[in-house]
Amino acid sequence: MGLKTLLTTHIAAGDSHTLKHYQSVGGYESLKKAISEMTAEQIVNDVKNSGLRGRGGAGFPTGNKWGFIPKTDKPKYLICNGDEGEPGTFKDRMLIERFPHMLIEGMIIAAKAIDSHQGYIYIRGEFHKGIRIVETAVEEAYKAGLLGKNILGLGYDFDLAVYSGAGAYICGEESALINSLEGRRGHPRLKPPFPAVSGLYACPTVVNNVETFCNVPHIIRMTGEEYKKIGTEKSPGTRLFAVSGHVKKPGIYEVEMGTPMKELIYDICGGIKNDKSLKAVIPGGSSSPILTAEEAMTATMDYESIASLKSMLGSGAVIILSEETDLVETTYRLAEFYSHESCGQCTPCREGTHWVKDLLHKIKVGEGTEKDVELIFSLSRNMEGGTTICPLADACVMAVRPTMTKFKEEFSLRLKKEVSVSH
């Protein structure tokens, strides 16, 4: 366990984003294999055998997702979700800027697997540089005959376009992303029907994360059976962990699944900034419930271990909080994020996220009471578990309630005005 590279092996190369470099290190060989030697069913089965789970947040098995696409005459669409916006998460931007051809290759292979002939790469709008790099890579791929009609003369057609988001976190939710791509407000849709049955333009659609697609060429190259030997049995492969907060060496690290969190924080990231002690870890993006330092030291970086601690591996964003962290302030900032990003469709989310944020602000500035704490807990019960179309309200609850429970004392001190407050 520990550092192991599949996706980021060639990150040191200054021109890793170019077609020339990508092909010089074996890029697009998996595409040739997939198109000329494998049937769609074989590709799906290989990805199923690899055990690859989606790297966007939910961790759903990728091969199964592809297998849900019905065999109809309707067009099938393939979408890359590059709308990275969860606080703490910053891995996909690196993949987009450094390895756009790995992403494109993964998408073409996935397209053949589901019989799609049109794909879109949806990238968050703020990533201007990444959008330009991917657009250039797509142009390069077209010129080299890797996209368009009759790819490499092997008889498969696939077109790919880049689409820029316009500043809405909710568009990372796949049905909201589909609405956005259709030129609508990014409102999540009621499910069912799921996108596999009725997605973009009411046609069967697969939406996968950037990192998920980037794994695909490696699976095809080494076979699913071999890929599955990396990582743990139920969480195979490597994972890009985006580490931020109070560590000496924040950054993006590709490690084998199952690596102890302690190793990630202390050996790989150099330990806690200013040699302070660890207070807590948010293990999988801002919506994953916080872990105490004690819990974090027992965890390994895989889906099962983090789930056993009642949290989530989510988007692979690890936020480290030292003993100096003001948890009331950080909890308020997260609630502020979710209230800002609520799309407004569902009342429990639209009203609840704002209410929770306002109550936390009251507590943060030293004007809160025990009743406000009780009210937050009461409100949160009405914001979770299927009361809304999408899980944004649940995410707000998960970012707030476990912190208020596990670090109750810190909130109590603020209520008693025994600590300094900021406005």
Q: Annotate each residue in 200-239 with x if it binds another protein (CB under 8 A) or - if it does not, as one string.
A: -x--------------------------------------
Tell me the C-alpha distance between 137 and 151, whole Å.
16
Write down the least CB distance from residue 255 to another protein, Å: 15
Considering the complex, state which of residue 44 and residue 301 has its C-beta at the smaller distance from another protein: 301
Q: Does 317 bind another protein (CB under 8 A)?
A: yes
**Residue in 253, 237, 395 with CA at minimum distance from that of residue 314:** 395
Write down the least CB distance from residue 358 to another protein, Å.
17
- DSSP string across 121-182: EEE-TT-HHHHHHHHHHHHHHHHTTSSBSSGGGSS--BEEEEEE--S-GGGGSHHHHHHHHT
Dihedral angle over CA of 340, 341, 347, 351, nearest 10: -20
Query: CA-CA distances (angstroms) from residue 98 to 137, 196, 304, 357, 421?
Result: 11, 30, 30, 37, 42
Find the binder of another protein among 18, 330, 342, 388 (CB under 8 A).
330
Return the structure tokens found at 25: 């290190």
Question: In Å, what is the CA distance from 243 to each residue of 38, 261, 338, 362, 399?
Answer: 38, 11, 21, 30, 17
Stretch that binds another protein, among 30-38, 147-155, 205-213, 318-326 (CB under 8 A): 318-326
How far, in whole angstroms, is CA 258 from its chain's centroid? 18
Smallest Cα–Cα separation from 40: which of 82, 75, 71, 9?
71
Identify residue 301 by its one-letter amino acid code.
M
Using CB under 8 A, pick the residue from 180, 305, 380, 388 that binds another protein: 180
Under the binding rule (CB under 8 A), the answer on residue 251 touching another protein is yes
Under the binding rule (CB under 8 A), the answer on residue 402 touching another protein is no
Structure token pair of residue 76? 């099938």
**Nearer of residues 126 and 304 to another protein, judged by Cβ:** 126
In the complex with another protein, the residue whose CB is nearer, 88 or 314, is 88
- Residue selected from 252, 268, 278, 313 as contacting another protein according to rule CB under 8 A: 252
Binds another protein by CB under 8 A, chosen from 51, 54, 59, 87: 87
Give whichever of 43 and 103 is closer to another protein, judged by the CB atom: 103
For residues 63 to 82, the per-residue mask of contacts with another protein, x marking binding by CB under 8 A and - elsewhere, is ------------x-------
Number of residues that bind another protein (CB under 8 A): 56
Q: How far apart are CA 103 and CA 148, in angstroms?
A: 16
Q: Which residues in 144-173 contact another protein (CB under 8 A)?
A: 159, 161, 163-169
Residue range at the interface with another protein (CB under 8 A); choices 127-135, 225-233, 256-264, 368-376: 127-135
Residue 231's SS3 state is strand
For position 386 contacting another protein by CB under 8 A, the verdict is no
Is residue 387 within 8 Å of residue 336, measured between CB atoms? no
The rounded distance, in Å, linking the Cα atoms of 318 and 96 is: 20
CA atoms within 13 A on the CB side of 305: 20
Residue 47, classed as helix, strand or coil, is: helix
Q: Decide: is 408 part of the binding site for another protein (CB under 8 A).
A: no
> From residue 333, how far is each of 36, 87, 168 by CA, in Å?
51, 10, 17
- Whichever of 206 and 319 has its CB closer to another protein, that residue is 319
Residue 184 as a binder of another protein (CB under 8 A): the answer is: yes
Strands 238-245 and 317-322: parallel
What mask, x for binding another protein by CB under 8 A, covers residues 12 to 51? ----------------------------------------
**Residue of 51, 100, 199, 245 that binds another protein (CB under 8 A):** 245
Which residue's CB is nearer to another protein, number 90 or number 158?
90
Rg (CA), the chain: 22
Verify binding: residue 186, another protein, rule CB under 8 A: yes
Q: How far is the CB of 282 from another protein (least distance, A)?
A: 8
Q: Could you say whether residue 329 binds another protein (CB under 8 A)?
A: yes
Q: Based on the shown chain and the rule CB under 8 A, indicate whether residue 319 belongs to the binding site for another protein.
A: yes
In the bound complex, what is the minimum distance in angstroms from residue 252's beta carbon to another protein? 7
| Site residues for another protein per CB under 8 A | 75, 84-90, 93, 118, 124-129, 159, 161, 163-169, 180-186, 201, 242-246, 250-252, 282, 286, 317, 319, 321, 325, 329-330, 333-334, 336-337, 340-341, 343
